[in-house]
Structure 1
Amino acid sequence: MTTAVQTPPTGPAAKPANSRFRVIAASLIGTTIEFYDFYVYATAAVLVFPHLFFPSDDPTTSLLTSFATFGAAMVARPVGAVIFGHFGDRFGRKATLVASLLTMGIATFLIGVLPTYGQVGVLAGILLLVMRLAQGFALGGEWSGAALVATENAPAGKRALYGTFPQLGAPIGFIIANGLFLAINFSLPGVDGAPSEAFLEWGWRIPFLASAVMVIIGLWVRLKLVESASFEKAQAKGALKKFPLGETFRRYWKQIILGTFIMLATYVLFYLLTSFLLSYGTKATDSPDGVPGLGFRYTDFVIMQIVGVVFFGIFTVLAGPIADRIGRRKVLIGVTAAIIVFGALFPVFLLPRGEATLPLTVAFLIIGFALMGSTFGPMGALLPELFPTQVRYTGSAVAYNVSSILGAALAPLVAVVLWAWGDGNPWLVGLYLSGAGILTLIALILSRETKDVDYEATELTH
């Protein structure tokens, strides 16, 4: 197996060209905006799109169709990873990050002005799918670029800590997106917390349109960046490749496979806790289709999710310094084992039990999101560390986003089907998460520790 030369980290430079504040702001603000845009769609995929873009006599069919467009973005993400990775490894991280943010922002804004099925028929769903693909394409290049900005500018011995800054964009973006949806829902109340006619008519568009303001702020921060010392040194050495993708697959295909499966459990866990659980938690316990949910009102359940996501953010930050101290691999092996056990405990937490349902569900969300932060935090350092400088953007982006197809794209769809097969009992859904965890654990066991790799290396050796 190939891995990077194990030498003490020397840091990208004695005096980084980008200040600490600029690095934190550029990696955190950008990913917050990108994930905000992504989660706005995820929430609308449950609350709005099944009714306005994919109406059907069968609510489960409408939900599955909506989740299918949600998952379509995951298919587009590897394409974005290849395109943005190519330009990021050929010409630099800065311009690529600006382009990915613009693409995501424009697509999200346009979703906010799309006509619905009642206005243009099937064309509404097609246009929504196109915008969703554009979102996925943009996110395919966003994460890796932000992770590289953070880690390639990190001081010696603090790459995992700095790698948590772009990871924090996920919980912060989730809280802003769902908090805004919640505020709009409170302002336009429906019956028993369900979306009102005004919300379905125009209120849902506000979060999509509001993204334009956030994008302008993100662009302002990122345009002030300068290239990292790692990239500039590789460029000065003539190590940059004309076709980074070919180089990556030819020489570092093992790292791509390992990185893909190392991320798998993280993706499955997160999209079960967010997209799937929102539909499961807010469905009636006596649903006429015979597949009961937990019966919470939308507003109550989103508040519960936000409480859980706070722990997501806390454990994301905590995991970074621990991974710097004892290694990424040790942290992730322990957390992944806990995720496998957590999957087996789904029926303990997620069955309607009268008054006991609320505390058990809150406990489930807190534990789940704490595990999510613990596994997601070190990824900002680990995946880029699998690859040398000249293919780092492409390699980490491809691994991260191919995993999104296996994990995020399939998770909500598979979970809905398994939930129906289990007649409302989520034990099969939990088993699905445990299975993903086992695959991730195998990948981690087969991998090497990357804590002490030379981050400015342009070659990997045995």
Structure 2
Amino acid sequence: MSHSSHAPTKSPPRQQPKRAAIASVMGGALEYYDFALFASAAAIIFPKLFFHDSEAAVLASFATFGAAYLARPLGAIIISHIGDRQGRKHALLLTISLMGVATFLIGCLPTYDSIGILAPALLVTLRLVQGFSAGGELAGASSLTMEHAPEGRRAFVSSFSLVGVGIGMVMANAIMIPITALPDDILYTWGWRLPFWLSAVVLVIGIWVRRSLDEPEAFENAETSKAPPFIAVFRENPQGVIRVALCNLFAVVQTVTTVFGLSYAIQQGVNSTTMVAIVTASQFISIFARPLCGLAADRFGRKPVFIFGAASSGLLIFPFFSAIASGNVFMIAVSMILLTGVAISFADGAYPAFFSEMFNAKIRYTGMAIGLQIGILLSGFSPTIGRALQGEDTANWIPVAIMTAVCSAIAVLAALTAKETFRTPLEQLGIKNTRAEASTIADPDKATIPAS
């Protein structure tokens, strides 16, 4: 049965690319406002407030950051089910509401000194809610914007879901610069709470924008699968899920640089406010770079743009850590901007369309969401793994860089097995991606570019 069985067969197009892009920006901004805010707080503030500033406090704080990634796969399954059955809009209203409320409540939590072990327990609980929400956000935003986009501009329009990511990280880091500069007696009492409370503003605006959206025509005209989307996607296109999961290992670069890199720099004596400012500058550049890379993916194809971004970011991680080890602030800034402002933007600009186009409309949300969250599990715990790889020598960054580069290399190899879809009409996407095509993973030469 079609989602629009009650409507005339030939309904007029209801593409809303601008409004869909704005809605995606708002959701991405809220999700990654929290990501960057929690990342900075996990490295600078939470060890003292929630883990009693013990020797293992930083490691425990990083583990709390990673806890959200455990809830992401469950969120991906449940929220994407809503998105593929009831509509993208309903699912995305749920994600933004959960994320906004949980982020605000973190700012209301009592600390370890007030309620003891219950404080980190409550922090982990709210972090799990955030992870559950994040599990369905980006895949839904990418599907929604891609399906609303005009032909030939799918990568450009869907890249705005990642523009929101950049805006969220810039907002969080820009706020953290004056916050971390506060005197300790203010910072560790009420000052750290302010950025979390400010998420309420983004939440209200985001809900208002998303409520005004129509469902994409591609979704409403899609035939609903008899099996639940989670079952259907593994029947029809398991190789797509695996490919997205492997490609998304490039996200380890982002987490290692913004979370582990920040903590490592502080350990090496770099001023925390300076590091947050550098991260902010690189993310600000990415806001403009990602749509340009989306345009490139519409012009030259998803695969070359994504592969260039994943490969170059894996290589640039070495000069990034080398610069931190040297303590040269100028070189840290240059390497950070090249890595997270430029290189990663190539992959980020392409992958919302690249990943979502691997699936047909009836399982698109589910396929991309599950693949993303399986792949991102390692990303969530990469700061913890990185700290463990350092061992007793906290100046030893080489094992962490190698781990990050290997993840980027796996992402590149997985992307090479994918079909190029930038010339494929929207209604034909994912039609041929069945089990018979699974051999493409082993033999990428079988993949062909559809005729324009």
- Bigger mean CA deviation after superposition, 332-341 or 429-438: 332-341
CA–CA distance in 2 between the matches of 1:347 and 1:84? 37
What's 1:176 paired with?
Answer: 171
CA contact (8 A) 1:90 1:242 kept: no
1:379 maps onto 2:374 in alignment = no
What's 1:350 paired with?
Answer: 324
CA contact (8 A) 2:89 2:215 kept: yes
1:315 maps onto 2:315 in alignment = no
Deviation at 1:15, TM superposition (A): 6.4
1:456 maps onto 2:418 in alignment = no
Give a deviation string over 1:93-113, Cα, whole Å, max 9, x none.
Answer: 111110111111111111111
What's 1:229 paired with?
Answer: 217
Deviation at 1:398, TM superposition (A): 0.6
What's 2:362 paired with?
Answer: 390
CA contact (8 A) 1:333 1:444 kept: yes
Change (3 A) 1:57 1:253: same
Within 5 Å, which residues of 2 pair with 1:405-444? 405-406=377-378, 408-420=379-391, 422-444=393-415
Deviation at 1:453, TM superposition (A): 2.8
Deviation at 1:49, TM superposition (A): 1.1
CA contact (8 A) 1:346 1:426 kept: no
What's 1:278 paired with?
Answer: 262
CA–CA distance in 1 between the matches of 2:309 and 2:140? 26
Matching residue's letter, 2:299: R
- 3-state SS in 1 of match to 2:363: helix
Matching residue's letter, 2:369: A
Matching residue's letter, 2:154: R
1:117 maps onto 2:112 in alignment = yes
What's 1:3 paired with?
Answer: none
Give a deviation string over 1:196-236, Cα, whole Å, max 9, x none.
Answer: 121111111111111112101100000000110101111xx
Within 5 Å, which residues of 2 pair with 1:72-87? 72-87=67-82
What's 2:192 paired with?
Answer: 204
CA contact (8 A) 1:276 1:415 kept: yes
Instruction: Please give the TM-score of this superposition, normalised by the length of structure 2.
Output: 0.90
Q: Which segments of 5 or more consecutive residues in structure 1 lack a partner in the other structure?
A: 1-12, 191-195, 284-292
What's 2:147 paired with?
Answer: 152
Q: Which segments of 5 or more consecutive residues in structure 2 lack a partner in the other structure?
A: 1-9, 438-452
- Bigger mean CA deviation after superposition, 327-336 or 88-97: 327-336
Matching residue's letter, 1:224: S
Matching residue's letter, 2:343: L
1:331 maps onto 2:305 in alignment = yes
CA–CA distance in 2 between the matches of 1:102 and 1:62? 31
Matching residue's letter, 1:54: F
What's 2:20 paired with?
Answer: 23
CA–CA distance in 2 between the matches of 1:199 and 1:304? 21
CA–CA distance in 1 between the matches of 2:191 and 2:249? 35
Give a deviation string over 1:107-128, Cα, whole Å, max 9, x none.
Answer: 1111111111111111111111
Deviation at 1:322, TM superposition (A): 0.7
Matching residue's letter, 2:239: K
CA–CA distance in 1 between the matches of 2:208 and 2:13? 20
Matching residue's letter, 1:69: T
Q: How many residues align?
A: 423
CA–CA distance in 2 between the matches of 1:347 and 1:108? 31
- 3-state SS in 1 of match to 2:362: helix
CA contact (8 A) 1:346 1:430 kept: no
Deviation at 1:421, TM superposition (A): 5.3
CA contact (8 A) 1:343 1:432 kept: no
CA contact (8 A) 2:15 2:149 kept: no
Deviation at 1:312, TM superposition (A): 2.1
- 3-state SS in 1 of match to 2:159: helix
Deviation at 1:409, TM superposition (A): 1.4
CA contact (8 A) 2:30 2:203 kept: yes
Matching residue's letter, 1:437: S
Instruction: Please give the TM-score of this superposition, normalised by the length of structure 1.
Output: 0.88
Within 5 Å, which residues of 2 pair with 1:235-314? 238-265=223-250, 267-283=251-267, 293=268, 295-314=269-288
CA–CA distance in 1 between the matches of 2:106 and 2:153? 39
Matching residue's letter, 1:343: I
- 3-state SS in 2 of match to 1:424: coil
Q: In the alignment, which of 170, 186, 207 is matched to residue 219 of structure 1?
A: 207
- Bigger mean CA deviation after superposition, 371-380 or 308-317: 308-317
CA–CA distance in 2 between the matches of 1:367 and 1:182? 21
CA contact (8 A) 1:90 1:241 kept: no
1:106 maps onto 2:98 in alignment = no
Identity of aligned residues (%): 34
Deviation at 1:143, TM superposition (A): 0.7
- 3-state SS in 2 of match to 1:137: helix
What's 1:289 paired with?
Answer: none
CA–CA distance in 1 between the matches of 2:11 and 2:156? 18
CA contact (8 A) 2:110 2:119 kept: yes
CA–CA distance in 2 between the matches of 1:199 and 1:115? 14
Deviation at 1:386, TM superposition (A): 0.7
CA contact (8 A) 2:306 2:351 kept: no
- The runs of at least 4 aligned residues of structure 1 exceeding 3 Å deviation read 13-16, 238-242, 343-348, 419-423
Change (3 A) 1:250 1:33: same
- 3-state SS in 2 of match to 1:152: helix
CA contact (8 A) 2:15 2:217 kept: no
Deviation at 1:77, TM superposition (A): 0.7
What's 1:5 paired with?
Answer: none
- 3-state SS in 2 of match to 1:84: helix
Deviation at 1:48, TM superposition (A): 1.6
Within 5 Å, which residues of 2 pair with 1:30-69? 30-58=27-55, 61-69=56-64
